[in-house]
Amino acid sequence: MITSAQNPRVQYVRALIARRKDREEQGAFVVEGVRLLEEALASGWEVRLLLYAGELSPRATALLAEARNRGVDVEEVALPLFQSLADTQTPQGVLGVLARRHDPLPEGLNFAVVADGIRDPGNLGTLLRSAAAAGVQGVLLPPGTTDAFAPKVVRAGMGAHFRLPVVQADWEQIAAALKPSCRMYVAESGEGMPCWRVDLTVPVALVIGGEAEGASVQARALADGLITIPMPGKSESLNAGVAAGILLFEVVRQRYEKIT
């Protein structure tokens, strides 16, 4: 059992939790909780290390057994030490270190999202979760967007990271990936065409801008148009996660109606 905060494995995990630089240099990130780790294993992601503590549920026990069968390094940690690492208020007693996986965008891309300058981890996680549910084929993250593999984003994403490509890219790479096939629409509060009047049955990429400043100059330069969510109430805007969900499922609605 690991009991010291100076243990190299504990320090490794702590660094990955705390710093984007360490996550990028190590090509790894931390996932906490039984459900997310079950999804990671089921999706074939490489688990480098599993730490556990305390009395585990039957599901958690089965998870550890499966990890051991796959040759994962599984270590018990003293409960107070584990609780100091856990990012949730009621930890489930298991957390893992996963290797980053760089899944490519599919050929013939027809449904993508650009998360442009979104800095709130909860909003980005919600966007990823909605994108996975709506059948988005890839989410692109330009410079200025928060790290998609930070613990709070991973937790809010609820497994989305294991279901669709999440790609960090500069604007030149984004243009090369999207412009040949997709029409790019920038979501804008109070400007542009109402979302239900825009043809979203064609190959499309939606740009969801950050909470404070909206979409970047680079996104607007690439855009084929602006799209908006009409709001008859008195609110000026929606947060990025909510706006993304509405627009993504407007795409789903239009495409469903077209084929039925």
Instruction: Answer whether 8-99 and 111-259 agree in fold.
Output: no
The pLDDT, as a whole number, for residue 232 is 82
Fold of 111-259: Alpha/beta knot (3.40.1280)
> What residues of the chain score a pLDDT lower than 50?
none
> What does the domain layout of the chain look like in residue ranges?
8-99, 111-259
pLDDT digits (tens, 9 = 90+) for 183-234: 999 998 877 899 999 999 999 999 999 877 788 999 999 999 999 999 888 6
The pLDDT, as a whole number, for residue 76 is 95
3-state secondary structure 8-63: HHHHHHHHHHHCHHHHHHHCEEEEECHHHHHHHHHCCCCEEEEEECCCCCHHHHHH
Q: What is the pTM of this model?
A: 0.93
Fold of 8-99: 60s Ribosomal Protein L30; Chain: A; (3.30.1330)
Rounded to 5 degrees, φ, ψ at 31 are -125, 135
